[in-house]
Structure 1
Amino acid sequence: MTKTMMRNAWFMTKRDLKVNKWSFLWTFLGGMYFVLILGGLLHVEEDQWSIAPDLLIVIFPSVLGISFTKDYLNYIKNDTFTKRMALYRTMPIRIEEVVLARFLNIIICTIYNTLTLFTVLYFLTERMNGALTLIPYIGFTITLVGYSMIMSACYVYYELGYSGKRYLMTNFVMTILLLIVVIVAGVLNWSITQHLIQGQVQYGPLLPAVSILIGCLTWYAGYHITIRHLYRREFR
């Protein structure tokens, strides 16, 4: 990765953020909807615990790096991402720069969503405040960010590498798989949220450190795998 690549990727990222300058507001409002629901669900008593908090805790962080833009609203109908990649291939823009710009965008969105939404969640959730003080809660949040990194690497691969319909189908399948995991955990009376909180208390900074490390390794692999796939892909 050269300075020129980084500079070009950053230019593309800034342009995308400028074009979609209102996306942060819509992303915040949409995220607040899930945060308010999750905050309410985490107030239930121990014997009333359901799979709903676990479902949100695995779905919500998985989209921390995604902003609500018109591209995501129209990608099925117009195959937006495929058309954009086809346009880039006709321009003096390297595929590496396109993929890098996408990851830079995800980094910015993840930081923004994490700082805003998880701050609100902390003050909304008395149950979590009782189990985690501020520092452990930050570790808990970072652990979820690592999980978000893993999921976002998959999203980038299918977003840039396949058609809008294939991307939609992949998102649907991933959501169903997560739902199955949560349901199985619920049947076994194994709360994902509670175990994450207990793990943070027990292992301290080790848990978020491992999560971020796995996330970084996933990004490194995802970056190179996506590039190789795009060089082989035909754009029509």
Structure 2
Amino acid sequence: MVNQAFWLVKKELKTNWTALLLTVLVVIFLGLFATIFLEQAARALFGQEVMYYNNPVLDILFVALLPSLSTIFMSGPYLSFQTIKDDPYTKRMAFIRTLPIPVKIVALSRTCLMLLILLLMSIAFFGAIVYKLPSDFYQFVSAKELIIFIFAWFGYSLALGGMNPFIEYGTSGKVLHLVPLFWIGLMMGLFVGFHSIVGYSIVEWSLLLISQYGWIVAVVSIIFGGIGSAFWHKLLTRRLAKRDYM
């Protein structure tokens, strides 16, 4: 069962290796960009001086964008509005469903592909951050706390990452392009509401939690990430079994 799922995963990666490489490069750039605001957040929270910076950008780079690390978002379907009409993911899944492969294996292959992409993109994103962070950063956030921070946000990505294969293969091309608009609106409302209630941005709050509770934050996040991933996999399996591809 697992061998069949990974056979499909290898076929998918072989077909999209150019888009995968381009996505990695974009993710590295985003990681380098995020470093600037993460370092400023550490200074603002734990430094002596009062510092003002654009903390909504930091939330956008982590809260809004990290779930996208589970998909090859620089591939054609994401970059072209023609996807709304052509619906390439549905056509691809319709072809796969004609093969003598059980739906459970097909769904497992989508989840395994998501996990592999998420792991690769997370290494690229957080690796760029660790590489670019100045040594002064560790005056405010220790290396241990940074590692906890990375695991905590990876857990968040894991919890929501399974949403992407569900949207790609369980819905239509129209939904694929409408969801980002809905997501942007939802995130903007979340950022404003959270800051007005808590007094910090979401990323700032996560740094404060880590400074107080340490590894507990990462463990809880990874647990919820595993639960979320299993939830989306089950939802995708049910959807693929019931979906009409005609």
Q: Please, what TM-score do these two structures have when normalized by structure 2?
A: 0.86
Q: 1:43 Cα deviation (Å)?
A: 4.2
Q: Using the alignment, how far apart are the partners of 1:128 and 1:23 within structure 2?
A: 33
Alignment equivalent of 1:72, drawn from 58, 68, 78: 78
**AA matched with 1:176:** G
- What runs of 5+ residues in structure 1 fail to find an aligned partner? none
- Residues 113 and 176 of structure 1, relative CA distance in 2, 3 Å threshold: same
Contact 1:122-1:129 within 8 A present in 2 as well: no
- Measured against aligned partners, the alpha-carbon deviations of 1:112-168 in whole angstroms (never above 9, x if no partner) come to 122222122123234753332222212111111111112212222221111010122
Q: Using the alignment, how far apart are the partners of 2:39 and 2:214 within structure 1?
A: 24
Matched position secondary structure for 1:48: coil
- Residues 18 and 129 of structure 1, relative CA distance in 2, 3 Å threshold: farther
Q: 1:192 Cα deviation (Å)?
A: 1.4
Matched with 1:180 is 189
Alignment equivalent of 2:234, drawn from 220, 224, 230: 224
Alignment equivalent of 2:6, drawn from 2, 7, 10: 10
Q: Using the alignment, how far apart are the partners of 2:28 and 2:60 within structure 1?
A: 16
Matched position secondary structure for 1:42: helix
**AA matched with 1:48:** Y
Q: Using the alignment, how far apart are the partners of 1:102 and 1:72 within structure 2?
A: 17
Q: Using the alignment, how far apart are the partners of 1:148 and 1:77 within structure 2?
A: 29
Matched with 2:47 is none
- Measured against aligned partners, the alpha-carbon deviations of 1:15-39 in whole angstroms (never above 9, x if no partner) come to 1112222233211221123223222
Contact 2:148-2:215 within 8 A present in 1 as well: yes
- Residues 72 and 99 of structure 1, relative CA distance in 2, 3 Å threshold: farther
Q: How many residues are matched?
A: 232
Q: Using the alignment, how far apart are the partners of 1:226 and 1:24 within structure 2?
A: 23
Q: Using the alignment, how far apart are the partners of 2:202 and 2:139 within structure 1?
A: 17
Stretches (4+) displaced over 4 A: none
Alignment equivalent of 1:156, drawn from 165, 174, 180: 165
Matched with 1:56 is 61
Q: Using the alignment, how far apart are the partners of 1:95 and 1:109 within structure 2?
A: 21
Q: Using the alignment, how far apart are the partners of 1:73 and 1:186 within structure 2?
A: 32
Matched with 1:129 is 138
- Residues 101 and 72 of structure 1, relative CA distance in 2, 3 Å threshold: farther
Q: Using the alignment, how far apart are the partners of 1:71 and 1:11 within structure 2?
A: 22
Q: Please, what TM-score do these two structures have when normalized by structure 1?
A: 0.89
